[in-house]
Amino acid sequence: MSELRFSVADVAGVRFAVSPANETVMSMWALADPVRYAVHLPWIDRARLTLRRPEVADRVRPLVELTRPRRWLPDFLTPAARPGLEMTEQLDQIAATPPDVVVQDLLATTPRGPLSPFGQALLAEPRELLPQVVDALRTWYDEAIAPDWTRMRALLDADVAHRAAQLAEGGAGRLFAQLHPSLRWLGDRVVSDDPFERDFDLRGRGLALNPSVFADRRVLWNLLEDSLPAGAYPVRAVGTLWERVPAAPGDPLARVVGVGRAALLHLLAAPATTTDLARRTGMSGGNVSQHLAALHAAGLVSRSRQGRHVLYRNTEAATVLVRASGGG
């Protein structure tokens, strides 16, 4: 069990962001354990073919060695993200990690097992070998994550919008009570049911929370004294990431508003972007945009901006229609 102690400033400093670096690093776990990450098998099959290419395997080897299964990650690989941060900026953050922090973060992982050969070399020569780590991250992102980043990003952005609404409507207590089953909010602290056994004071630095496609069973914390506090938690609705949702045959709502618009209304109980809706329905982005414009004009969907993305969601009127069409 771990405890994170909050001051008033820390509660005010809770923030959400999407971290491309987190997804790039944690994706290696899915490659190593496809049974545990079976929901990602469509991606795993493609990524394994990519990693078999000799020119990729050689450059990515430092990342593979630093992300071995059932080992802790060195915090410098997953820096706290800020809203709107792109992978290039996060790579610059990692490249600027001071050598003593690299050493400290590597040593902090050893309770779960000895360092890999590359980890030992990095421990001895952090300044000289850190560029190889950055190159490995860049290569794996470009080869394996970037082709699917649009759909991953859409799912992550939708989760951020949902959590931000929870925080605005119910405060930190509601947010942490619903963020993950392993977390409890006790008024001035979060208690996390995990094997890490940390007692950590945020000391007014706030907490960055990053939804993650590849975090599966618990919230993963960056809680070293020299790191900005952060937590990666499992994203909602990850099972929809690789699916396409066809219109249900005989849907009564489709006979009223049309098949395409009915499909969107069935999906918009949670916020989603145009890109995410196109992925999940198989419609083109232009077709989805036209349907959303009509639904918005009719007062059936609302839209809000989250960073650079526009998120759509059913209005109360649409919710009534969807429930009625299902006999509710």
Q: Do the strands 2-5 and 14-16 form a parallel or antiparallel pair, or are they unpaired?
A: unpaired
300 within 8 A of 312, measured Cβ to Cβ? no
Amino acid at 82: R
Contacts of 277 (CB under 8 A, 6+ apart): 264, 267, 268, 283, 288, 292, 312
207-212 and 230-234: which strand pairing? parallel
pLDDT number for residue 26: 95
Most confident of 5-14, 80-89, 121-130, 309-318: 121-130
pTM for this model (two decimals): 0.77
Tokens of 97: 């990690």
The mean pLDDT value for 279-284 works out to: 79
Rounded to a whole number, what is the largest CA-CA distance in the chain? 68
Q: Which of 16-25, 230-239, 318-327 has the lowest mean pLDDT?
A: 318-327
Beta bridge partners of 183: 192
Query: What is the C-alpha to C-alpha distance for residues 316 and 319, in angstroms, rounded to an integer?
Result: 5
The pLDDT of residue 132 is: 97
pLDDT-derived band at 200, boundaries 50, 70, 90? confident
Instruction: Spell out the alpha helix ranges (H) of 213-258.
Output: 252-257
Q: What is the mean pLDDT of residues 286-315?
A: 87
Interval 53-66: pLDDT, tens = 999 999 999 999 99
Q: Which residue has the higher pLDDT, 250 or 2?
A: 2
Give the 3-state secondary structure of residue 14: strand
Most confident range (mean pLDDT) of 19-33, 261-275, 281-295 is: 19-33
Structural contact between residues 218 and 196, judged by C-beta atoms closer than 8 angstroms: no
Provide the residue count of the chain.
328
Nearest to 40 by CA among 211, 307, 269, 239: 239
Is residue 306 scored above 80 in pLDDT?
no
Q: Once rounded to an integer, what is the mean pLDDT over residues 261-268?
A: 88
- For the chain, give the mean pLDDT: 88
Q: Is 163 strand, coil or helix? A: helix
Least confident of 95-104, 139-148, 167-176: 167-176
**Contact status, residue 265 vs residue 322, Cβ threshold 8 Å:** yes
More confident residue, 65 or 283: 65
Residue 162: predicted pLDDT: 84
Run of H or E residues at 153: helix 149-179
Report residue 237 as tokens.
Answer: 């609705």
What is the average pLDDT across 248-257? 77
Q: Taking 60 as the threshold, does the pLDDT of residue 156 lie above it?
A: yes
